[in-house]
Chain A
Amino acid sequence: MTPLAGYLILSAMLFCIGLAGALTRRNAIIVLIGIELMLNAANLNFIAFWRFSEHPEALTGIMFVIFSIGVAAAEAAVGLALIIAIYRHYKTANVDEVNSLKG
C-alpha cells in the first residue's frame, strides 16, 4: 500500500464521517460542522495528490487548498449567519422543522 492510498483512505473516511453527520444530525450547527469535515476531506485529497504527483515543485495543490479554506471560511461565516437568522425567526435550529420551502 502506497502512502498515497493511506491518505486517500483517511480522507474518504473523513468524508464519510462528515456526510453521515450532515445527513443524520438535526441541529443545523452540527450539519454545518459535517459539511466542514467533508470539505476538509477534499482538501486532504488535494494535498495528497499534489505531494505524490510527478511535479511536487509546482505549488498548484497548495494554492487550491488555501483558496478552498478561504472559501470555506467565508461559507462558514455565511452559513452561521443564516443559522442565526433562522434561529431568530423560528426559535429553533432543528433543520427538520425549517421546511417552509416544501412544494
Chain B
Amino acid sequence: MAWIVKYLWLIPALPILAAGLSALAPQRSRKFAASLAIGSMIGAFLLSLCAFAHAVNHGGHDGAKEVFNFAWLQFAAGNAGILKLGWVLDPLTAVMLVMVTFVGTLIFIYSVGYMAHDENFTRFFTFLSLFAGAMLGVVIANSLLLLFISWELVGLTSYLLIGFWYHKPSAAAAAKKAFITTRVGDVFFFLGMMWLYHETGTLLFYTNDPIHPGCLEGASLAAMVAKTTSLGMAVSTGIGLLIFAGAVGKSGQVPLHVWLPDAMEGPTPVSALIHAATMVAAGVFLVARVYPLVELGGWVNKAGEVIAFTSTTQQVVTWIGAITAVFAASIAVAQNDIKRILAYSTVSQLGYMMMGLGTGGVAVGMFHLITHAFFKALLFMGAGSVIHGCHDEQDIRNMGGIKKYMPVTFATYAVGMLALSGFPLVFSGFWSKDAILHSAHGWSVSHIPFYLGVAGAFLTAFYMTRQVALVFFGSRRTGFQPDSNSKEPAQAAHGEVRQAGSPSYEPHESPLVMTAPLMILAACAIGLSVIGTPAWPWFQSFLGQHHGEGGFTSEVISLMVTSSLIVFAGIGVGWWLYGRKPIQKADEPDVLGKLPLGMHTWFAKKYGVDELYELTVIRFNAWSAKACAFLDQWLWGGVVTLVSYFTLACSWFSRAFDEFVINLGFDQSCDGVSRGGNLLSRLQDGRVQIYLRILGLGLVALVLFLIWGGTK
C-alpha cells in the first residue's frame, strides 16, 4: 500500500490540529492563529496533491479504490461485532481533496484581509480550520459512519460560523434555522444509514475483499436490490432515497433550501467557503459517493432483464435537482441583496449538479461541482470585496458605478459572472453546464428536466447580468435604506462607523491580500475548462464514468450552440433591461415589476416558502411546544407537586415522632435518673454523726429483727 493511502488521515488531521491549537491560544494571538490555519491548509493541500498524483498514476482510469480500514470499536463478540472505519483514495476523493484544500487555502488568505478588524479573529480561524478538517473528513471517509460524523461536524461549524456575529439577532436566528433545517435531512440520512447497516452488516464503502464486501460492492448491492420492502420497492431504493434526503438538507434542495439564503448572515468568507464552494457541495458529493447504490435497481421487466438504466432514486434526484435549479434561479431574479442573489444562485447550481448526477452520473455532476466551487467562491469573495469597499453596503440598489473604483474586483467578478452564466468556450462553467444539459437531453425518462435546465440557464445569465449591471455599471447611487438588519455589522467587519449614504465614503479597492485570491480563482475559473471539454474529456474518464463517444459530435455541437444562444439571450435581456438605461436613483421600482400576474412579487417573496413553513411547520411546532409546556406545567408539574407534598407530610410526621416520642421519652428517663441521683446524694451529706445515727438506727433495727423474727 502506498504511503499516501496509509497517511491520508493527515489531510483532515492537520486543520483539526490547527483548530485545536488556536482554540487554546489567547484571543490576541491573531498572527499565530491565522498563520497556523493557513499553514495547515497549505500542508493539507500539498498532501492532497500527492494523493491526487497517486490517484492519477496508480488508480488508472478504471476507477480503482485504494482503501485503508481499521477496527474502531468492538460492540459484540465475533467478527460481525467489529465496527470498522477507514478512508478511501479514489479519483472522486482525489479531486475533491484538491478542490477543498485549494479553495480553502485561498479563502483563508482572503479572510486575513476581510476579518482584519474583527476582534474575534482568532475564534474565526479556529472555526474555519475545524470546518476544513471536518469537510476533508467527509471527503476521505470510506465508511458511511465516518462520513456521517464528519458531516455533522461540518453542520456544527456551519452553525458556529453563520452565527459568528451572534450579537446580531438575525445572525443567531439564521444559524439556528440552518442547523435545524439540515437536521431534518440528517434524520433521514441516519435512518438510511441504520437500514443500510441492517441489510449489509457493514458501513464500509469498499473493502476490496470478496469475502467481506463493503456496502457499495457487488454482493451487498445484489442482496439489496433483490430484496423488496412491503411497499414493493427495492431496499436499495429506500436506502438511496433516505440518504438522498440528507443530501437535500445539506445541499439546499427544494424543499429544504430555506436555510441557505439566510446563511448569508455569516461573514462573507464563510459564505464563500462553506455556503458556496464546499459544504453545500457535500450533499452532491454524498450522492456521488453512494452512486453505486443510487443507480441500482433499474426498471426490470418480468423476465428479470433490465429495460431502463434509470433507477427510481436517480429519477427523484433528477426531478428535485431540476425543480430546484429553476425555482431558485427565478427567486434570484428579484433579490436586491448582493449575497442573497449569489445564495439563490448557489441553490440553483446545486440543483444542476443533482440533475447532472441523476441523468449523467458521477462525472457530470462532479465536474460542475468542481468548476462551480471555483467560480462561486470567486463571486462570493468578489461580493465580499465590494461590500468591504463600499463600507458594508449589501444592497445592490445602493451601489452602481463601482467599476472605476475597484477595477481588479470588477475584472475578476466579471470572469466569475461569465463562468456562472455559462459564457461559451473559454469559461469552465460553460462546459460543465453543457455536460449537464447534454446528459439531461439524452435522458430516457423525460425531457422536462432538460427544458427546466435550459430555463434555469437563461435565468442564471439574466440575473447575473442584472447584478453586474447594477453593481458595477451606471452611476453611483446612495441613500436608500430598505432594511438595516440585512447588513453586516459595521464595527465587526470593518472597524469604521458606517454612515449610510455619506458621500465622503468613496468605494475603495480592497488590499492585495484580498484581491490576489480573486485573481487566482479567476484564472482557475477559465483554466479549468480544459479538463472537461468534449474534445478531451480527461475529467470524465478520470472519474471512470465516461461512456464512449466523446468528441464534438453533431449533437454535442448543436446543443452547444443552443445553450450559447440561451446564454446570449439571458445576458442580452439583462443588459437591455438594466445596463442600457441604468437606474439613476436607488429607490426606483424594478423594471421587472411590470411582469404580468404579479410574478415579480412572487419572486421577491421567494414564493412564500418561508411564510408557508411559518404557517405550517413552525406553527405546528410552536403549538406542540405549547402543549408540551401545558402538560409539563399542569400534568407533570401537578404530579411532582403532589409527590413533594407527600414527602413533606412524611417528613413532618417523622419530625413530630422524633420530637414528641423519642426525644421526650429520652429526656424524661434522663430526668428521672438525675432526680434519683439528687435524692440519693442527699444521704451523703458529709456529716459523720448523721452516718453514725443511721448506723445506730440500723443496729436497732437489726436487734429488733433478731429479737422478734430472726431466731426462727
Contacts and interface: CB of A to CB of B under 8 A. Distances in A.
Interface of A: 19, 22-23, 31, 95-96, 98-103
Contacts of A98: 686, 688
B594 interface: no
A102 B685 contact: yes
B692 interface: yes
Given A96-B687, A99-B686, A99-B687, A23 B680 contact: no
A22 B693 CA distance: 9
A103 B682 contact: yes
A94 B497 CA distance: 108
B696 A103 contact: no
Contacts of A96: 687, 689
B232 to A, nearest CB: 105
A33 B270 CA distance: 121
14 contacts: A22-B692, A23-B689, A23-B693, A23-B696, A95-B687, A95-B689, A96-B689, A99-B685, A99-B687, A102-B685, A102-B686, A103-B681, A103-B683, A103-B685
B669 interface: no
B684 A101 contact: yes
A66 to B, nearest CB: 25
B366 to A, nearest CB: 108
Interface string B681-712: 11111111100110010000000000000000
Contacts of A19: 696
A22 B681 CA distance: 24
B693 A95 contact: no
- Taking residues whose C-beta sits less than 8 angstroms from the other chain, chain B's interface range is 10 to 19
Given A19-B696, A23-B689, A103-B682, 14 more contacts: A22-B689, A22-B692, A23-B692, A31-B688, A95-B687, A95-B689, A98-B686, A98-B688, A99-B686, A99-B687, A101-B686, A102-B685, A102-B686, A103-B685
Contacts of B684: 101-103
Contacts of B689: 22-23, 31, 95-96
Contact of A95 (B682, B685, B688, B696): B688
Contacts of B681: 103
Given A22-B692, A23-B692, A23-B696, A103 B680 contact: yes
Contacts of A22: 689, 692
A44 to B, nearest CB: 18
A100 B688 CA distance: 11
Contacts of B682: 103
A31 B690 CA distance: 13
Contacts of B688: 31, 95, 98
B707 to A, nearest CB: 14
Interface string B276-302: 000000000000000000000000000
A63 B683 CA distance: 39
Nearest to A97: B687
A103 B681 CA distance: 5
Nearest to B678: A103
Contacts of A23: 689, 692-693, 696
Interface string B649-688: 0000000000000000000000000000000111111111
Contacts of B680: 103
A101 B692 CA distance: 15
A98 B680 CA distance: 20
A27 B692 CA distance: 15
Nearest to B687: A99
Nearest to B696: A19
A96 B683 CA distance: 15
Contacts of A101: 684, 686
The 4 A-B residue pairs with the shortest CB-CB distance in the complex, in nearest-first order: A103-B684, A102-B686, A99-B686, A103-B681
B390 to A, nearest CB: 105
Contacts of B687: 95-96, 99, 102
Contacts of A100: 686
A93 to B, nearest CB: 12
A31 B681 CA distance: 25
Contacts of A95: 687-689
B169 to A, nearest CB: 86
B497 to A, nearest CB: 95
B486 to A, nearest CB: 97
A22 B694 CA distance: 13
A50 B237 CA distance: 136
Contacts of A31: 688-689
Contacts of A103: 680-686
Nearest to B682: A103
A73 B681 CA distance: 34
Contacts of B692: 22-23
Nearest to B691: A101
A95 B688 CA distance: 7
A31 B693 CA distance: 12
Nearest to B680: A103
Nearest to A22: B692
A103 to B, nearest CB: 3
Contacts of A102: 684-687
A22 B684 CA distance: 19
B693 to A, nearest CB: 6
A95 B682 CA distance: 18
Nearest to A28: B688
B559 to A, nearest CB: 125
Count chain A CB atoms within 10 A of each CB in B683, B685, B686, B693 and give the residue with the most.
B686
B424 to A, nearest CB: 125
A102 B681 CA distance: 8
B691 to A, nearest CB: 10
Nearest to A102: B686
Nearest to B699: A19
A76 B680 CA distance: 32
A90 to B, nearest CB: 12
A23 B689 CA distance: 6
Nearest to A24: B689
Contacts of B696: 19, 23
A101 B680 CA distance: 14
A54 B43 CA distance: 137
A23 B683 CA distance: 17
A98 B691 CA distance: 13
A98 B685 CA distance: 10
B343 to A, nearest CB: 101
Nearest to A101: B686
A101 B688 CA distance: 9
A37 to B, nearest CB: 14
Contacts of A99: 685-687
A102 to B, nearest CB: 3
A23 B690 CA distance: 8
A98 B683 CA distance: 16
B665 to A, nearest CB: 28
